[in-house]
Amino acid sequence: MTSRDGFTWTHASGLTAGVPSIGVIDPPTNVPNSDASYDVIVVGAGYCGLTAARNAAAEGLKVLLLEGRDRIGGRSWSSNIGGYPFEMGGTWVHWGQSNTWREMTRYQMMNEVERSFDFSHGVNHYELNITKQGYTMSHEKEDELLISALNKFTNIDGVYGRDTIPLPYDTFHTAAAKDLDNLSAQDRINSIAPSLSPQERAALESFVLLCSGATLITTSFHEFMHWWAMCGYTYAGCIDMLISWKFKNGQSSFAIRFFQEALATKRLAYAFNTPVNHIRDIGAAVEITTRAGTRYTAARLICTVPLNVLGDVTFDPHLSASKRAAIATGHVNQCVKVHAELANRDLRSWTGVAYPHNELMYAIGDGTTPAGNTHVVCFGGGNKPIDPEVDIDATKRAVSNMFAQQDETPQIERLVFHNWSNDEFAKGAWFFPAPGLLANHLEDMRERHGNVLFASSDWALGWRSFIDGAIEEGTRVAYEVGKELVELRNVKG
């Protein structure tokens, strides 16, 4: 099945909208009519919504899952082109992300992973291109450069954040941690700038922007430190947990397991291509109205809509002023992720940075396609925004510019991407906050609204913005709803 999401480009076909994915659901609905009653409605079929729907159905609740897209996965899904998976959003998994690995164990998928990068053959080097000045070095030197820069950046307390953020799941466990959220990444870089070489600064800034997908001024220094803490306060931990392991058959091969298990309970109804417009809490129940005007009712509603899209849904009664303020602020990640299939198998062991002059600033060899070409995944961000489908020639140039130090720019055979900034159900990539958002509004984002519960990786406590955080949140709200409804049944019974 082909999703309407995503784009591909090849010499033969040109730019084409829509890519095939095993995450596309057919038939798109199994709802017999809108008069059916439900225990809980779940809005959104990303990992958070899938977890909540599956857990609630497994606990005996009658569930309706509504999704605006034609597929599952939300901001984490994979295409399948010629038998090869290109990850369109969230990609990497690790046993240090305990919620994710627990689910992989549940579905016996622990061995269905492979290394993302492979430095065992090929060019086996790192290119650092700072405007017109280029440096080529070994991956060992790359690591030394980033370790030196990141240690200077993160050493806020003499122990690289361990005292300031000792318990990452308790986001503001110390007062000093809350103070960090008033600082931007630019503020921190300015304070250590005299200690950084030009190479260290370029490598550091591009790494930080790779995480945030924003600008240095709009990147919360605290949130970067939270990622750092979750990764064990080391560069090696970041590389290991954030970008080392991925599913052999793509993220959609994982997400479909959640959906299939929920469906097998015979207590899951679903409707895809069904955006939600309005949510009304009528006291004894919640009534939801879709964009097409259809209404559904349940005792509870779980809303997993991302922060940047939540303002498109109206609520009756109105949400609290503090929650509305968080929604109005939104998050800042406008990362662009472009997959390039390149006619050079030796690039499998290549990594590169082109910063700050290029629309794509970081890239890594991520696989070998069935045709024997190298799959390179490239990232850009808020520093030099780009809409890759608007000018495909500019996108190709941005990919080619990553290889300024190569003797010959590799031929681009294929491009694959999803423009998250122009996606009406995302309006940005993974969550990353500007300074102050979490300190002022983390609890506001998490608070429930009567019979409506809000769950999203955007306000998870642990691996916030990751697949693991989505599963964490889906588990939390499903447990809360299940407990309430079981107790309610016991009272009535």
Report pLDDT digits (tens) over 461-484: 999 999 999 999 999 999 999 999
Give the residue, 194 or 404, on which the prediction is more confident.
194
**Average pLDDT score over residue span 43-69:** 98
Count other C-beta atoms under 10 Å from residue 106's C-beta: 11
Q: CA-CA distance, 405 to 354, in Å (whole number)?
A: 10
What is the percent of the chain with per-residue pLDDT over 70, rounded to a whole number? 98
Q: Is pLDDT above 80 for 233? A: yes
pLDDT given for residue 409 in this prediction:
77
Q: Is pLDDT above 80 for 382? A: no
Q: CA-CA distance, 140 to 142, in Å (whole number)?
A: 5
pLDDT given for residue 408 in this prediction:
62
Tokens of 282: 């009528």
What is the percent of the chain with per-residue pLDDT over 90, rounded to a whole number? 94
Report pLDDT digits (tens) over 278-311: 999 999 999 999 999 999 999 999 999 999 999 9
Q: How confident is the model at residue 493 (pLDDT cuts 50, 70, 90)?
A: low
Q: How confident is the model at residue 383 (pLDDT cuts 50, 70, 90)?
A: confident
Q: CA-CA distance, 120 to 32, in Å (whole number)?
A: 55
Q: How confident is the model at residue 381 (pLDDT cuts 50, 70, 90)?
A: confident
353 is in an annotated binding site: no
Give residues with Cβ within 8 angstroms of 98, minimum separation 6.
Answer: 468
Give residues with Cβ within 8 angstroms of 250, minimum separation 6.
Answer: 22, 78, 79, 80, 85, 86, 87
Tokens of 105: 């164990």
User: What sign does the CA torsion over 369, 344, 245, 88 have?
Assistant: negative
Report pLDDT digits (tens) over 190-223: 999 999 999 999 999 999 999 999 999 999 999 9
416 is in an annotated binding site: no
Mean pLDDT of the chain: 96
435 Rama class: left (phi>0) / alpha (psi -120 to 50) / beta:
beta
Buried residues in 137-150 as b, exposed as e (16+ CB within 10 A): eeeeebeebbebbb
| Listed residue (252, 266, 235) closest to 47, CA to CA | 252
* Amino acid type, 193: A
The count of residues in the chain is 493
Report pLDDT digits (tens) over 62-112: 999 999 999 999 999 999 998 999 999 999 999 999 999 999 999 999 999
Q: Among the ranges 27-36, 115-124, 382-391, which has the highest mean pLDDT value?
A: 115-124
Report pLDDT digits (tens) over 115-172: 999 999 999 999 999 987 899 999 999 999 999 999 999 999 999 999 999 999 999 9
pLDDT given for residue 71 in this prediction:
98
The alpha carbon of residue 233 and the mean position of all alpha carbons in its chain are separated, in whole angstroms, by: 21
pLDDT given for residue 491 in this prediction:
66
The domains found in the chain, sorted by start residue, are 2-77+251-332+427-492 (3.50.50.60), 115-246+336-419 (3.90.660.10)
pLDDT given for residue 490 in this prediction:
74
Tokens of 87: 């990850």
Q: Is pLDDT above 70 for 262? A: yes
Q: Is pLDDT above 90 for 19? A: yes
pLDDT given for residue 489 in this prediction:
76
pLDDT given for residue 404 in this prediction:
79
| Listed residue (437, 481, 454) closest to 178, CA to CA | 437
Q: What pTM value is reported for the model?
A: 0.97
Q: What are phi and psi of 314, to 5 degrees?
A: -95, 150
* CA contacts within 13 A on the Cβ side of 227: 26
**Average pLDDT score over residue span 15-32:** 96
